[in-house]
Amino acid sequence: MARSKQTQGACAYCGRALTRSGMARHLGGCEKRKEAIAAADRKPGEAMPLLHLQVHSAWGGDHWLHLEVNGSATLKQLDSYLRAIWLECCGHMSEFSSSGSRGERVGMSRKVAQAFHPGVELTHVYDFGTSSVTLLKAVAAREGRATTMHPIALMARNATPTYPCQECGGAATHLCHECGYEEQPGTLCEEHARVHPHEEYGEPVLLVNSPRTGMCGYDGPAEPPY
C-alpha cells in the first residue's frame, strides 16, 4: 500500500490536530485535559495510578492511539481494547512481550501499573500467522482519579490515513489484495474498485482506520469500543 502523509489526530479534550509525537507532548500540558483531571479529582473516591500509553503500529506508524489506562487494569483488558478498536477479525491468539533482544513474554494477568512505567515499551502481537504488531510505550504517569468510568480512556487517535488511487490519483476508498501481492499500491477509488479486474484473492476491501486493513478476515469498521 502506498504510504500516506504523516497522520494527525484530534485531541479528545480540546480538538487540536497534531501528529503522534506532537500529541504526546501536547497532552502533558493541554489546559482542557487539566480541567478534566481537576474535575475528576474533586469527585469522591481513592486516587489511583494512571498511565499515559502511546500506542502505534510497528509497521509504518500511520495508525496510533494515546490512551490513559487505570493502573489496576490488566493486560488482558488492554488486549481486549486493542482487539476492539483495530485488530479483531477471527479470534486469533495474541500476547504481550518486553521489547528488546530477549523479548520475554508478559502474562495477560499482569496489572498495567506493574508492566509499565514511563519509558517502558511492550510489544503486542495479534495473530501468529498474519501478524499485526503493535508497540505500546508509557510516556507519563499520574496519581489521581480517572476522567471516565472506563478502565481505558481514548485521549487521541489518528485520523483515517489518505491514499491516492493507483489508477487516477484520486482519493482511494478500497484496497486490492492482488495488486498488493504484485507489488503495486493496490489502492483504488470507488469508481476504479468497481471496474478493476480481480482474478484472484477476491474483491477489493474497504480501507478503514486500522493497521489490520487487508489482513486475514478483517473488515472493520474500526470504532472505539467506549
| Chunked mean pLDDT (size 10), the chain, 226 residues | 74 98 97 98 94 94 95 98 94 91 88 97 96 97 96 96 94 88 85 83 85 87 67
Count Cβ atoms within 10 A of the Cβ of residue 5 and give its class: 0-12 exposed, 13-18 middle, 19 or more buried: exposed
Q: Tell me the C-alpha distance between 132 and 87, whole Å.
A: 8
Q: Tell me the C-alpha distance between 106 and 74, whole Å.
A: 11
pTM for this entry:
0.91
Domains of the chain as residue ranges with CATH: 8-158 (3.10.290.30), 161-215 (2.10.110)
Neighbouring residues of 168: CB distance < 8 A, sequence distance ≥ 6: 189, 191, 192
